[in-house]
Amino acid sequence: MVYLECEKIRKLKKTYPPQTMESAQTISDAAKSIISDLPYNYPSRSASNIKAVRAAARTYIERQVEKALDFYETKITPKTINGVNCLIVSPKKQLANWKIFYIFGGGFVSGSAYEDLTIAAPISSITGTEIIIPEYRLAPEHPWPAACDDTMAVYSELSENCPAILGESAGGNLALVSMLKAKKKGLKLPVAAALISPWCNLTNIGDSMIFNDGRDPTLSLRQSNMAAGHYASGQSLINPEISPIFGDYSTPFPNFYISTGTRDLLLSQSIQLANKLKANDISVELNIWEDLWHVFEWDIDLPESTLSIKQISDFLSKTVAKSKSC
């Protein structure tokens, strides 16, 4: 099974544009330090422990968020859109009049718009665009379809002037679901979609769920299964609005950029999604980062994070600019 998945990766690296890091040996000392910090800590996502998990994540990321806001000189403004609380991220220097719809991750059970500013702030600064992040409701208190309803409520208000969508992990799931629902409703679709380690299959089937369990320093299979149970709350895991890998991606759909890593627990899901998109003649660029893990972009101190965020920003800007010139 592991051999077959590695064969898939080798074939994909010939098909899709490779990353620009020189070689596997060139990962940063900061990345090596995280990988070598054994044993990895995987806090339980049980219903009784979820509030403690949320608080710990918030405490951990606060310093990095403040660092990102200061370095990239972005302004954060709260705003309610269609009944949903959002954060608006504005660059110091506005370079474009279009917007990015951003959806945070956290397994549907944790995370917040604030905690993803380590990714959103630099992307806003680099692209020179405003970013809107909905503060969707979390499970287990608010299981599916609460998060879908909240993100869709905001997307429906923004679709006419929001040609780019971006989501990480569970946010990648919601980005896909938003586009699937928008297509059914006849709403305008974005022209560019960037997904970071998307959690698009809550059945958690895939080789990487086995061989990267314990190798990914940020996410375990047990955590993922527990979060899936909280979110789906007894509903079918193959419902495309819960696991969008099972959705209909017949054209038209936007151009895609997917970032993942060889240690990402959800690596297989990125490969499965890229293959499905490509089978439907949808343009997709899959970037598999050597020796990196689930949503490594969240850590602002990693040089690889800076490079990946720059590549994502360039993809969004160039794709939107190309669409406007047509």
Residue with tokens 């000189």: 73
Sorted by sequence, the CB contacts under 8 Å of residue 180 that are 6+ apart come out as: 240, 241, 244, 247, 248
Give the residue ranges of DSSP H helices in the chain: 2-15, 29-36, 50-72, 117-127, 146-158, 170-185, 208-211, 221-232, 267-279, 303-325
Fold for the domain defined by 2-19+29-325: Rossmann fold (3.40.50)
In this prediction, residue 326 carries a pLDDT of 59
In this prediction, residue 41 carries a pLDDT of 87
Taking the C-alpha atoms of residue 255 and residue 164, their distance in angstroms, rounded to an integer, is 10
**If DSSP codes are grouped into helix, strand and coil, which group holds residue 286?**
strand
Taking the C-alpha atoms of residue 175 and residue 195, their distance in angstroms, rounded to an integer, is 8
Taking the C-alpha atoms of residue 213 and residue 220, their distance in angstroms, rounded to an integer, is 5
In this prediction, residue 33 carries a pLDDT of 93
Q: What are the domain boundaries of the chain? A: 2-19+29-325
Helix (H) or strand (E) holding 259: strand 255-261
Q: Which of 303, 254, 319, 218 is nearest to 20 (CA)?
A: 303
Taking the C-alpha atoms of residue 28 and residue 25, their distance in angstroms, rounded to an integer, is 9
Q: What is the pTM of this model?
A: 0.91
The one-digit pLDDT tens for each residue of the chain (326 residues) are 333 444 444 444 444 443 443 334 579 999 999 999 878 889 999 999 999 999 999 998 999 999 999 999 999 999 999 999 999 999 999 888 999 999 999 999 999 999 999 999 999 999 999 999 999 999 999 999 999 999 999 999 999 889 999 999 999 999 999 999 999 999 999 999 999 999 999 999 999 999 999 999 999 999 999 999 999 999 999 999 999 999 999 989 999 999 999 999 999 999 999 999 999 999 999 999 999 999 999 999 999 999 999 999 999 999 999 987 75
Taking the C-alpha atoms of residue 66 and residue 61, their distance in angstroms, rounded to an integer, is 9
In this prediction, residue 13 carries a pLDDT of 42
